[in-house]
Amino acid sequence: MTEPAQGVEPHEMTADTVHPDPETPEPFELADTDDRFDGEQLDRADRQALRRVAGLSTELQDVTEVEYRQLRLERVVLIGVWTEGSPQDAENSLAELAALAETAGSQVLEGLIQRRDRPDPATYVGSGKARELRDIVVGSGADTVICDGELTPGQLRQLEAVVKVKVVDRTALILDIFAQHAKSREGKAQVSLAQMQYMLPRLRGWGESMSRQAGGAGGSGSGGVGTRGPGETKIETDRRRIRTKTARLRKEIAGMKTARDTKRQERKRNEVPSVAIAGYTNAGKSSLLNRLTGAGVLVENSLFATLDPTVRRAETDDGRDYTVTDTVGFVRHLPHDLVEAFRSTLEEVGSADLILHVVDGADADPESQLAAVRQVLADIDAHQVPELVVINKADLADPVVIDRLRRREPHSVVVSARTGEGIDALRAAIDSELPRPSIDVRVLLPYDRGDLVSRIHRDGEVLDEEHVADGTVVRARVKAALAGELSPYAVVSTPTV
């Protein structure tokens, strides 16, 4: 192992300089960007370096805990390619990858970033850096490399050939987390479908698992001696089985979608307004649902704790009913196959009357969370639904960040789902945003039709109410269906007592 060359910054790794003791790595700090940039150009040393990102290691200190968890946790090294944005953007992305790896049950040992114009088409990080990565993997004792991007089948295969350990990309990692957290039959089917679609182009065969194919029928094949076989390779058999299972899963999900559509149409027939809670994973959506409705759903400080949508009923201050739906969280570069597989449940967002877009005010980069979620909303054709930004975790966020977000998002409410701060203001904002009944009615309801009076209070907006000898005179705004039922009791003038 050679010593670092003269003039190399301490946070840079070249192909000839690997840290001598990966168990106790020195902290690597990013230099001030003003010293490292000249316009849009970067120093050659910066482009050629693998740079460790400090603070990502989750290596455990307690010996007994180590002995217990090493039986089940994979030891991983993270690698990212920084192609655009600031150094802080690259570090934030790798920090999120570390959180995803921990959620999947892995132990993060190292986090590395390489500056490139674009990922290497062969090995993602370039052949020289792939060999350097191999040295770091060996030195740290890692058994898995996780790449911060989606790798092509060729990149995956060639990078594994160099580093000699399992290589996983960001998409496979997210799919693994979804598979762990899916609880309902529909959620499991959707995750399985996304996994099958991801796996199909990445199937590989080794050694005797591959059959040899004949060039023609019987002994007349043009391939010659030793080339005739059963005709279908093992990998082709696997592909056929995956396609068959994919078709079956699509049929199952379509049947579940029918049941979900039926429930949604029933709510629409009853003209119950709907509110969908959407946002970045771990932004506090389930906590907000519990605050608004008392649903008591699972709340965990982990990514993708909620996969199955939960619908609960709530009411405004004036007594109007509406539904609140908690949906799956989004993340940067959410796999397209996953969005397609979950489209039936994400339709709850697209059909809502109002979207509560929850953003974590304590996150290092909340603006990128907003952008990532809006991209997914556009993918599922939900970008036309009215949106109210809910800046959550006000008890933990920097006030400067909160002020910046409020200037950027004027149509927003600041809350803390944990402490209850701002919840009353949020309820008032929801009340003002939900569609209101539009038909004015003035009716005299006999005292034996108290059921209609109750429905006006529940589904309409009462403007005036008076009890007279013949019954109850109500002036209100109601929806079309209820207005039709009330029409036999309509009055032009107030009857005398």
- Would you list the DSSP string of 319-341? S-EEEEEE---B-TT--HHHHHH
pLDDT of residue 300: 58
Residue type, 482: L
What percent of the chain is helix, strand and coil (3-state, nearest 5)? 40, 20, 40
In this prediction, the residues of the chain whose per-residue pLDDT falls under 50 are 1-41, 59-72, 206-213, 215-221, 494-497
Element of type H or E holding 390: strand 387-392
User: Which among 274, 281, 282 is positioned nearest to 314, based on CA atoms?
Assistant: 274
Residue 351 burial (10 A CB sphere; 0-12, 13-18, 19+): middle
Strand segments, DSSP code E, in 34-171 are 37-38, 41-42, 50-52, 74-82, 106-115, 144-147, 166-169
Task: Give pLDDT, residue 67.
Answer: 40
- In 200-223, which positions are buried (b, 16+ CB within 10 angstroms) versus exposed (e)? eeeeeeeeeeeeeebeeeeeeeee
For residues 176 and 166, give the distance between their C-alpha atoms in angstroms, rounded to a whole number.
15
pLDDT for position 209: 46
Question: Cα separation of 312 and 272, whole Å?
Answer: 12
3 state SS of 82: strand
Q: State the CB neighbour count (10 A cutoff) for residue 65.
A: 10
Question: Six-digit token pair at 223?
Answer: 């391939």
What local confidence, expressed as pLDDT, does residue 332 receive?
78
This prediction's pTM? 0.66
